[in-house]
Amino acid sequence: MRAQSDDLAKPQEEDSVSSGSSEASTDPLNPEQDEDWEDAEPEEEENLQVKDFFSDETFPSARAMLEFCQDQYGFDFVKVQKDLGVIKLVNYLRSAAKEGNTKPDVSSKELFEDDKYLQPVIEDDALLFCLDELSDIQSSSQPAISDSAKGKAVNGDGDPFARIAELEEQLQRLQSQFNEYRLTVAKTLDERWNDKSSDAQAESSKQVIPAPRDDDSHYFESYSYNDSYRDFIYNNKHLFKGKTVLDVGCGTGILSMFCAKAGAKRVFAVDNSAIIDKARENIFENGLQDIITCHHGKVEEIVLPLNKGQKVDIIVSEWMGYCLLYEAMLDSVIWARDRYLKPDGLMVPSHCTLHIAPIFDPDYIAECVSFWHDVYGFGMAAMMDKINDDVLVRHLDQDVLASEGTPFLQLPLHTIITADLTFVKEFEMKLQRDVDGLDGWCIWFDTFFLPDRTKSPSTDARAETYKDEGNAFTTGPGGKETHWRSGVMLIDRRKSKQGQPLKKGQKLVGSVEYRKRKVNSREVDIEIKWDAGAEEKGGQTWFMR
């Protein structure tokens, strides 16, 4: 099964796949990747010209501008942003001033829930590059603690710890807002690249110019599944408090740090790649080295420093691969579970469900055919095998599906064994619209986090609508994009029967087979067989390599 990561509407673009879920090259918190952001910052801070909110005046620093703004208009930005947030407030004020409103309404928090205010109004807005300075201004704007007040605090009449907690909360809010801004910048850069590519293609219909690959373009967004881990861990701190945790394939150590912050007594962070060195740095930087210990190597080969007979209470891991099981670490997680987890211990996540749905997208198929028939003026139809034989990794919209997805396998992480990872599962569904014929198949997975190992999500549970105990996320069409996306398998019509168009409500039955390769058990091939009667039936195997 070959993974080609790209948008479904761009057949000429081909990407390679990362070879593991804990590789530094795909990790969202790898400090080495931050080097790319340096170009977005001004080379010399003294050259910044910070524009006033309500006039064309410019200032050499954020402090000078905000002081002018308060003196001239009576607008206390520092005070207002505490409740509303820096990024959105700046862009809201810029937007209001652009419309000639010098007295914008900042009383409604609901107004700032709109994500449109994450988009900069002024290109390269210098104020947004001064977030650290804004933090300094905020701190200096707090009233100084007098000697008498200090005395009261010492005598118990005040609470200096509450003040410290307040400052920590403010710092976390600023960091979160800065991350939001970085995401917005990444999206903007990606859009500009695509615009340039489109313009170049328009100049010559014969010239194929793939859009530049930008692995950071969805740097934060595609790793948003970490929110599901964080939410589960933080919402169930009673499960982690005082417990021993094993993080298999820890990557940058983010999951380990979630567990430590939730009250875990001890965390073992294990990874076989060089990213473990970055994990150590991240853990030390956050002062968690007394709780989290890092171990370099395969979990099957290292020896955890546990007393004889001692086991861990919880195993946490981001082990999933493309189509769930390609290049996945599940074999290692199962081994770690059987070797180290207590009989009543908890697996995080606890369940995964695989789904399948038919695809009908004739426009894309037509683009594929026409593209390979004329590449720089040459016919290269033989390359059609590439898209027909390999699994493509795409983020799809719901409207390309001919039916709702149907689950064909649920993996209970507390009990599944490695033999279960090679399987043939049947499926049945009904078409939800008329189609001229099936163009392919889409496979994705939902991941569930349940706090009770004795419970399971229902077999028809959907992550996007899940409201029972725990939480979940999906990699499926229409959901929030993840770096796994979905697996897309296009039907080779030279090998399959295609008859009359299919009608809404028509039954479609078939089977999905996952076969592990003998050379590498983390690689799988997928075979799908289907039958919709005389009009549509076939069988095909797709590869990821």
Gap between the Cα atoms of 92 and 88, Å rounded: 6
Tell me the two tokens of residue 99: 């419309």
Cross-strand pairs, 448: 351, 472
First to last CA, the chain: 5
Three-state secondary structure call for residue 27: coil
DSSP calls for 231-286: HHHHHTHHHHTT-EEEEET-TTSHHHHHHHHTT-SEEEEEESSTHHHHHHHHHHHT
Tokens 């290109």 correspond to 123
Which member of 13, 46, 169, 318 is catalytic? 318
Q: What Rg, from alpha-carbon coordinates, does the chain have?
A: 27
Rounded to an integer, what distance in angstroms lies between the CA atom of residue 386 and that of residue 427? 27
Distance from C-alpha of 4 to C-alpha of 61, rounded to nearest angstrom: 46
DSSP-derived secondary structure for 53-115: SSSS-EESSHHHHHHHHHHHH---HHHHHHHH-HHHHHHHHHHHHHTT-SS-----SGGGG-G
Closest CA to 330 of 414, 426, 225, 222: 414
Collapsing DSSP to helix, strand or coil, 530 comes out as: strand
Which residue in the list 35, 133, 327, 481 is annotated as catalytic? 327
Quote the CA–CA distance of 184 and 191 in Å, as a whole number: 11
Is 535 known to be catalytic? no
DSSP helix/strand/coil, 209: coil
Cα diameter, the chain: 90
Is 318 tagged catalytic?
Answer: yes
Q: Which of 338, 531, 483 is nearest to 416 (CA)?
A: 338
Active-site residue list: 318, 327
